[in-house]
Chain A
């Protein structure tokens, strides 16, 4: 998919990514192993979400601030979650997530409605995040606050029921062990190269499809797959002592 690379230096969304083949009725979303009816349901949910987003964007472009607030409410958790997992500092993540929505408000005129709205929003978010990481590196910023893994910090949201790690570990020490493993995963994830971290967050945590990630990152499909592989191998190696 020859999507032009986003302008990472400016952080501006500039233009829509290429239209998503799945923005109509075709299923192209998360391809976690699932059965046929489930895929159909997911495709239908996506189609409905796209229709809703297009309507909200139209209203926002007409100056309806309530449409903007609705878009913020719909995507705040995903964008904040992306920022927090990328940056690792709650306050910084909140500032950045706010920046993303303010950029959305300012640049909505540049969104032509050809690609999916939320792919475009993610593009703004990843550009904002990369620019901030570059800036923070220059200032020797260190993650001072770990990602909050307390139960109240999480919500299943629209992504379906969350199976906590605690539920995967049997026995009376499940809570402690699950929390320890969860913290270890987040810590090791945070140590990955930001490009690798981003791909794991987009694909494995937020469940975006290859097509969506290609549109967001501007990568070629082969590059995405090999880079995702390297990211997973790097994380596996880092997690090895915790999984032994």
Chain B
């Protein structure tokens, strides 16, 4: 938004909110009297503000305060056992490390046991358990 428009927006907002100094109010009203379009815009804004201002207030649920108090009590109780929370956190981290280590070792063991594809590709007759027919006695 250009600076002049910004300044104008600020003045109109202050005017609608009754925050504009008296001398500036008179100047702005004189300007608006010369500009029916701007005046209509200001009047529409005033109407919208009036409608919005008349929206009823919303009430919190009746048990809201009690729920908050309960959550705070729980938090305070947990806070008293903060040492346990830390132990619990360390335990969780340790557990994850152990699980990952065991999984890694298992996978490595599996890889060692399984021959690679190249190893599995056999040349007929070269396999150690290939049954080479015994020479026939003449």
Contacts and interface: CB of A to CB of B under 8 A. Distances in A.
A238 B98 CA distance: 59
B89 interface: no
Interface in A189-212: 189, 200, 203-205, 207, 210
B3 to A, nearest CB: 10
Given A32-B53, A164-B54, A229 B13 contact: yes
Interface centre among B17, B53, B68 (most CB of A within 10 A): B68
Contacts of A9: none
A225 B10 contact: yes
A105 B54 contact: no
A33 B18 contact: yes
Given A204-B53, A235-B52, A101 B68 contact: yes
A236 interface: yes
B45 A236 contact: yes
A189 B17 CA distance: 19
Contacts of B9: 225-226, 229-230
Given A69-B65, A80-B58, A105 B75 contact: yes
Contact of B61 (A94, A164, A181): A94
Contact of B55 (A77, A182, A203, A233): A182
A3 interface: no
A95 B69 CA distance: 13
Contacts of B49: 204, 232
A186 B1 CA distance: 27
B65 A73 contact: yes
B18 A32 contact: yes
Interface size class on chain B is 35 or more
A84 interface: yes
A228 B48 contact: no
A111 interface: no
A237 to B, nearest CB: 9
Contacts of A232: 13, 16, 45, 48-49
Task: Identify whether the interface residues of A are mostly helix, strand, loop, or mixed.
Answer: helix
Given A205-B53, A210-B19, A236-B45, A94 B58 contact: no
A157 interface: yes
A168 B67 CA distance: 37
A203 B72 contact: no
Given A69-B65, A232-B45, A232-B48, A159 B57 contact: yes
Given A98-B67, A236-B44, A155 B57 contact: yes
11 contacts: A33-B18, A69-B65, A76-B65, A98-B64, A98-B68, A147-B58, A155-B56, A163-B54, A225-B10, A230-B9, A236-B44
Interface of B: 1, 6, 9-10, 12-14, 16-19, 44-45, 47-49, 51-61, 64-65, 67-69, 71-72, 75
